[in-house]
Amino acid sequence: MLGNIAGFIGVRSATLRLANSGRMARFVACALALIFWAFSTTLSAEGRCPPGMFETGSRDFIACAPIPGYGQSGDEGDYESDSSSQGPTGPQYAESSMATAVHMDSTEVWGTAGHRSVEAAKNRVMDACAAAMGEGCIYSEAWTGNILIAVAVDGGGGVWPEGAERKSEAEKEALDTCKKMAREWGCKIAFSFRNVLIPAGADQSHDYSEDYFPQGPVKRRKWALLAQPDGVPSMAWQRKTWLLSGRDNWAAAKEEVVARCQADTGAKCSFGVGVADGVLIHYVNRRGQTSWLNAAGAATPEARVAEFCTPDEMPCRILALYDAATPRLQVISEPEPTRGYMSVAWPTKAGWPRLAIVTGRPTLAAANADAIKLCESQSKLTCELYLDNPDNLTSMFLGLYELPGDQLHIIRGYSIEDVKKKAAESSKKNNLTYTNRALVDLYERGETTPLYKD
């Protein structure tokens, strides 16, 4: 199983309310969901003006202007004006815009503020990012008005910005969004900066903008990525995973590992889990099922496995660690699960509304024989195998569901949650009610005769 596939790499979006404007903007964030970002500096555009004033001006000229509504809220230095007003974009100030850009292959953020137009702010950050990184820069829609942008990052590198006039409010909203969308990774505020306000009637030739760009050369991250076939490939390629590492271009690496998987198997393959500047973890649980996780930054491999190894899977042990820095392209074989065989039998004719299920047998033949024996001893009828397809040892749980009209449906899955999810999807697809009659753990040796209809 590829752990944490959903949301690993992509573009996340969060809605940002523009203070003092009544408009909405959508920030398109680079969701490096399995990557830890380490910001090299903490940015702030506050703190150089006395209480009751906020900073404005430009890189070359710092000015302090009165805070609208200061002292009315009792929150000095962490302010917001009357939400019904137009704030500093009224008679005193012209409209000014700010924007940010990020790149999948870097830990840096390119930010700018104090531009006379959205297009100017966008061009500024995108040009600066492209000059350092080349193609692949990701732009956030610009924000306009007297707001502060707080950026929260989750432990996997997802970027979650929110804006408000109060710094505390912006940080709270950013952290709330981050925790909601990236629960298992932890969240913290990385940096914040306030827009530069342009005085109304200011000289149009004067540049009031301020940039928050990386200083010096930008280091590219090293990636490790996995791919697996979709569906079931030919026997020779079953239970295989393709691993690529040591690359510093995520887009090219993703294309390369998927292409290699497809060339080997002749089947469609998909990208799974990955990591930048960290390690990929291959581990196995007590049932013999293997999974992949990642770790980077302060997250140790042992802590990551402990986080995802559920009580019914314990103990889990690490099979191998693959660091992102080492160049490699290899095919990794997944060990076979350790559980025994299962089989299901029922009478050849109506008269016994149960199934005979046996688990944990040393061979498929033994499981089939024991299932029929159990069925016939309990029902006093002639029995046959219920399942046409033999046990492939990959499923760990079996769900027995009753459908309308005394129909029966057996669903097998990796976990109880997987079985329930498949049942819900089938119920919705077929527009039928699926009533659960039993959930059977296929790992343990045993036998049961659950009722499948009243």
Q: Please report which helix (H) or strand (E) contains residue 336, including its range.
A: none
- Compute the half-sphere exposure of residue 216: CA atoms within 13 Å on the CB side of its CA: 4
| Amino acid present at 20 | N
Residues 47, 315: Cα–Cα separation, whole Å: 52
pLDDT at 297: 67
**Residues of the chain falling short of pLDDT 70:** 1-91, 141, 155-158, 182-185, 297-299, 337-338, 388-390, 392-394
Annotated domain spans of the chain: 9-212, 223-333, 341-448
pLDDT at 373: 96
Q: How many other β-carbons are positioned within 10 Å of the β-carbon of residue 396?
A: 24
Is the CB of residue 412 less than 8 Å from the CB of residue 443? no
Is the CB of residue 342 less than 8 Å from the CB of residue 357? yes
**In a 3-state reduction of DSSP, which class is residue 425?**
helix
* Long-range contacts of the stretch 326-330 (C-beta < 8 A, 24+): 326/245, 326/246, 327/245, 327/246, 327/247, 328/243, 328/244, 328/245, 328/246, 329/242, 329/243, 329/244, 329/256, 329/257, 329/260, 330/242, 330/243
Strand partners, 25: 16
Residues 395, 419: Cα–Cα separation, whole Å: 10
Residues 171, 177: Cα–Cα separation, whole Å: 10
CA 421: distance to chain centroid?
19
pLDDT at 151: 82
pLDDT at 12: 23
Is the CB of residue 213 less than 8 Å from the CB of residue 103? no
pTM of the predicted structure, to 2 decimals? 0.61
| 17: Cβ contacts below 8 Å, ≥ 6 apart | 24, 163, 164
pLDDT at 185: 61
Q: Which two tokens stand for residue 255?
A: 């294309």
pLDDT at 42: 25
